[in-house]
Amino acid sequence: MNSAKTTRRTVLTGVAAAAAFGLATGPAQAETNGLKIGMLLYDGFSLLDPTGPAEVLSRLPDATVTMIAQHRGPVRTDTRDVAVLAERSVAEVNRLDVLLVPGAGSRGTLAAMENPVLLDWIRRIHRHTTWTTSVCTGTLILGAAGLLRDRATTYWASADYLEKTFGVRYVPERYVQVGKVITAAGVSAGIDLALYLASLLTDEETARGIQLAVEYDPQPPFDSGNAATASPELKALALKLLADSQE
C-alpha cells in the first residue's frame, strides 16, 4: 500500500475517533452521531475479554470502539506478555453508549475493585449508557461500583465470591441481562455477549452477518469448557494453569 495513503488513513482514523468521544480535533471540531463503545483497560486484564468483543462490535455500522484506561498508553495483560494501547484516558471520556469492563487475574481484579478513580468513572459513565457490560471477573468490578442487582454471571471460580460479597445470585449462563447491565461468563463468553449486544444495538440479521463475517462457529476439540461438568481434578488444573501464567 502507498505510504502516503497509509499515513492519511491513520490520521483520519485518529481524528474520527477523537471526534466520536467529544475530544477537540482542531478549530472545526467534528461531530458524530454514531455508537460510542468503550473498553476499559487496567493493569492485568485478560487479553480476550475486551479484544474479542471489540472484534465483533467494531463491525457494527457507524460504531466507534475505543480502548480506555486511567492513563493513555500501553496496558499490560495478566500474563505480562502483551500490552494493548489505551487511546483515551478516563478523564477524556464522559459519555458512552456501551461500556465494557473486562476481567483479569485475581491481583488485577482486586486492584481495579479498590481503585476509586476507575469505580467513580464507571458509575458516572453508567448513568448515561444504553448498555453497561462486563466479561469474566469484570462482573466483580461492576459489583464494587454498586451496579449489580438480583443476578449476574462471572467466571465460574468466582461464583461464590460474587454471591457472598455482592448479594446477587450467580447464574451459570454465557451472559445474563438485568436491566441495562449485561454480564458475561469467563473470557470466551465475551464474544457471545458481543453478538447479543450487536443484535440489541441493530437487529438480529446484522448480528448474524457479523458472526459470519468473523466466522464465529466454535467447534472445540475437547468437551471440557463447562465447569458444571468438569471434574475436580480438571478444575484444579485449570486454576493452576491460570495462576502459573500470571506469575
Residues noted as catalytic: 136
For the chain, the straight-line distance linking the first and the last C-alpha, in angstroms and rounded, comes to 41
Q: Are 197 and 133 in contact (CB under 8 A)?
A: yes
Cell of 141: 468490578
Cell of 46: 485478560
- 3-state SS class at 202: coil
DSSP 8-state symbol, 62: T
Pairwise CA distance, residues 108 & 112, whole Å: 6
Cell of 237: 488444573
Three-state SS across 127-172?
CCCCEEEEECCHHHHHHHCCCCCCEECCCHHHHHHHHHHHCCEECC
